[in-house]
Amino acid sequence: MNVLNLFKIAFRALANNKLRGFLTMLGIIIGVASVITMLAIGQGSKRSIQAEISEMGSNMIMIQPGADMRGGVRQSAEDMETLKLEDYNDIVNETRYVSAVSPSVNSSGQVIYGANNAPTTIYGISPDYMDIRRYKIEDGEMFTAQDIRTAAKVCVIGKTVVDNLFPNGENPVGKVVRFQKLPFRVVGVLESKGYNTMGMDQDDLILAPYTTIQKKVLAITHLQGITCSALREDYTDQAVDEISEILRRNHKLKETDDDDFTIRSQQELSSMLTTTTDMMTVLLAAVAGISLLVGGIGIMNIMYVSVTERTREIGLRMSIGAKGIDILSQFLIESILISVTGGLIGVVMGIGSALVVNSVAHYPIFIQPWSVFLSFAVCTLTGIFFGWYPAKKAAQLDPIEAIRYE
Amino acid sequence: MKEIIRLDNIKRDFQVGDETVHALRGITFTIYEGEFVTIMGSSGSGKSTLLNTLGCLDTPTSGDYFLDGVSVRSMGKNARAVLRNRKIGFVFQNYNLLPKTTAVENVELPLMYNPAYNSVQRKEKAVNALIAVGLGERLNHKSNQMSGGQMQRVAIARALVNDPAVILADEATGNLDTRTSFEILVLFQRLYEEGRTIIFVTHNPEIAQYSSRNIMLRDGHVISDVKNTNVLSAEKALAELPITND
């Protein structure tokens, strides 16, 4: 008997029991819809966290002097003076996987303009820093390499500093602010980045040439850190290796010596945060998967009842020439039709409810094509798996007994 | 004359607990094309077992059974299913129509299991069979919208649709009132006149008068096998029935 006929027979049988078919489907519909919705929410929050990290510069690499032992006493990392300007120059000149490099020195203190003042941090950096941290100039312009060479007293300020010092809405560009008694001319204002994932205000800062901070604020010759970015996020490991090699060579460390610096990349942070959301996604999917399983058991239950109820029909079909395989296929196709139809409706409802969650509760969502495909495949398999036993039972009926079944 | 059915010393034993029940104890007879045979016997005579054997639903413990020249005894389940599909038309006491299904769809059913027919041919044959049993006007009536007599006509149409070698009727008038029973008998007699081979299993001795041959069973043996030289007309009997207004 051909497959088309089997489908016709199964379809007629389902059409005869529309309400029951729909109720059975409901289990699958809810299962598939919840899998898709849950995965969409899980993936959505993962993506939004990843996006935030990438906003901070996901390929960013931070180099700091490492803690060292001196006469058996572990020193604070900040007191170390191991990072030098030549390290910075060598990283700029010798690396292949590093795209932007900036020295970093900073100092905290009050910044003053007229009668207003506010505590903030001044960062001594090079213009490359803008690329590394993804800062943009909103108004005015960035200071130049020339400013760095001359250790010019110019700066670029963040939005929070603007709000604190210029509460009346004056244009800060061209104004002179004072930091630790030192006057800085404001040449630009940064575009706001808001708070980062850790709750730090990314707009509460002043950027100035590192030479100025080194010589005129801190009076040091070493660097407190070097910030750079890998060519791409994927190249972070290679970049870290290159940098580490250069620094070990420059610092004349022996094979057995520990690093006297630490290199941190955003990858660690990124993987830590995504692990959390991945786990959440797995949990959500597991709960949803259980409801799909329950739906499958519903199919099995109904098919089982249906086989018993239709024993005489099965006996008749057998006596007019249906083989065991025909009966098996008929019931299997019925359960697959139920689960696939339920699956299709579930996909539509799942996507729909994910969109509703997004627009009503403003959760970030992301519907991954594979999650739709997966849940659909799973529910087809559910149909086969849970339809198999009742169908097998139907196929094994004895036609003589089945036809006289009351 | 062509042999349709040949039974040669058919025995069928059932194992019930520790006991062996001999349902058929050596049945031998031959049915030729165009015969209308009634098989009679009280309950326990083995007529149900014989019917199951003739219908290829069951295989004998020993003995040979040839249906239209094919030996059935050594056949597997699937081969017998195909044989039933091509050679046998069943008519049951309780009609066994599919619920909520139209007459045409019910009659099409045997052809659904025969890949030689496409849907157009199926429909055409089903409609013709329904016209042949006098239900040309009720092609799309569903089984629950029909009377017992109509349902049995649909069942007969279903038995005819695959042009079987033999029609096996199991108490086909058992659930019907007298008048409708005669109407169905008229239909069977007409099929007999058209040259169809019919085996009608019943416990009602009256029906034997309308068939061309009568086989009596008792305790698994054939106790009589007689040709009926004076076949009564069911049509006449129907005409003579008192008309009741109900």
Task: Write down all domains in chain B, each with its CATH number in brackets.
Answer: 3-240 (3.40.50.300)
Residue A203: pLDDT band (50, 70, 90) is confident
Q: Which residues of A touch B14 (CB under 8 A)?
A: none
Burial A333-353 (b: 16+ CB within 10 A, else e): bbbbbbbbbbbbbbbebbbeb
CB-nearest to B110 from A8, A312, A321 is A321
Query: What is the average pLDDT across A205-217?
Result: 91
% residues pLDDT > 90 (chain A)? 24
Higher pLDDT, B139 or A280: B139
A187 vs A381: CA distance, rounded Å:
65
pLDDT of residue A74: 64
**Ranges A93-107, A139-153, A288-302, B74-88: which has the least confidence:** A288-302
pLDDT at B147 (0 to 100) = 92
Which token pair is A220?
A: 């040091």
Q: Among A198-207, B166-175, B221-230, whose mean pLDDT is lowest?
A: A198-207
Q: How far apart are CA B94 and CA A106, in angstroms?
A: 97
Measure CB to CB from residue B112 to each of A5, A323, A399 and give the nearest one: A5
Mean pLDDT is lowest, of A109-118, A255-264, B80-89, B149-158, for A255-264
**For A68-72, A171-175, A209-213, which range has the lowest pLDDT when averaged over its residues?**
A68-72
- A52 touches B at CB < 8 Å: no
Cα B178 to Cα B139: distance, rounded to the nearest angstrom: 25
Token pair of A214 as six digits:
């080194």
CA B94 to chain centre: 13
Question: How many residues would you count in chain A?
Answer: 406
Which residues in B have their CB inside 8 Å of a CB on A?
A: 52, 55, 57-58, 77-78, 81-82, 84-86, 90, 92, 96, 98-101, 105, 109-110, 112-115, 158
Q: Which residues of B touch A319 (CB under 8 A)?
A: 55, 57, 84, 90
CB contact under 8 A, B112 and A315: no
CA distances from A298 to A30, A221, A332 (A): 12, 75, 15
Residue A321, pLDDT above cutoff 70: yes
pLDDT at B159 over 80: yes
The count of other CB atoms within 10 Å of the CB of residue B119 is: 13
- Residue A161's H or E segment, with its range, is helix A159-165
How does pLDDT run across B177-235, given as a tens digit for each residue? 989 999 999 999 999 999 999 999 998 888 999 999 999 999 999 999 999 988 888 88
The pLDDT of residue B246 is above 60? no
**What is residue B244's predicted lDDT score, i.e. its pLDDT?**
67
Helical (H) or strand (E) element with B187: helix B178-193
* A83, HSE (Cβ side, Cα atoms, 13 Å): 27
Give the pLDDT band (50/70/90) at residue A348.
Answer: very high
Q: Do A400 and B78 touch (CB under 8 A)?
A: no
Mean pLDDT of B38-52: 90
Asked whether the CA dihedral A329, A332, A335, A336 is positive or negative, the reply is: negative
Residue B163, by phi and psi: left (phi above 0), alpha (psi -120 to 50) or beta? left
On average, the pLDDT of chain A sits at 86
Chosen for mutation from B59, B104, B113 (greatest number of chain A CBs closer than 10 Å) is B113
Percent of chain B whose pLDDT exceeds 70 = 99
**A113/A163 Cα distance (integer angstroms):** 11
Q: Mean pLDDT throughout B36-61? A: 91
Cα–Cα dist A145/A161, whole Å: 24
What residues of B are in contact with residue A316 (Cβ under 8 Å)? 92, 96, 98, 109
Query: How far from B87 is each of A216, A321, B65, B162, B184, CA to CA, in Å?
Result: 109, 10, 14, 8, 22
Is B110 in contact with A318 (Cβ distance < 8 A)? no
Q: What is the pLDDT of residue A135?
A: 87
Which residue out of B50, B98, B100, B106 would a mutagenesis test of the A interface target, given it has the greatest number of A Cβ atoms within 10 Å?
B98
A6-15, A202-211, A285-294: range with highest mean pLDDT: A202-211
A309 interfacial to chain B (CB closer than 8 Å): no
What single letter denotes the amino acid at residue B58?
D
> According to the model, what pLDDT value does residue B124 have?
94
- ipTM associated with this complex: 0.92
pLDDT tens profile A367-404: 888 888 888 888 888 888 889 999 999 999 999 999 88
Contacts of residue A131, Cβ cutoff 8 Å, sequence gap at least 6: A99, A100, A229
CB < 8 Å & 24+ apart, contacts of B150-154: B151/B95, B151/B97, B152/B91, B152/B95, B152/B176, B152/B180, B152/B184, B153/B184, B153/B187, B154/B95, B154/B97, B154/B103, B154/B106, B154/B107, B154/B130
Q: Which pLDDT score, from 0 to 100, does residue A82 have?
A: 80
Average pLDDT over every residue of B84-103: 92
How does residue A57 score in pLDDT terms, banded at 50, 70 and 90? low
- Please identify which residue in the block is written with the tokens 């006493």: A73
Of residues B79 and A268, more confidence is placed in B79
Which residues are within 8 A (CB) of B10 and not within 5 positions of it... i.e. 6 or more apart?
A: B24, B26, B27, B28, B50, B53, B60, B62, B63, B64, B65
Local structure of residue A179 (DSSP, 8 states): E
Q: Is the dihedral of CA A336, A342, A344, A350 positive or negative?
A: negative
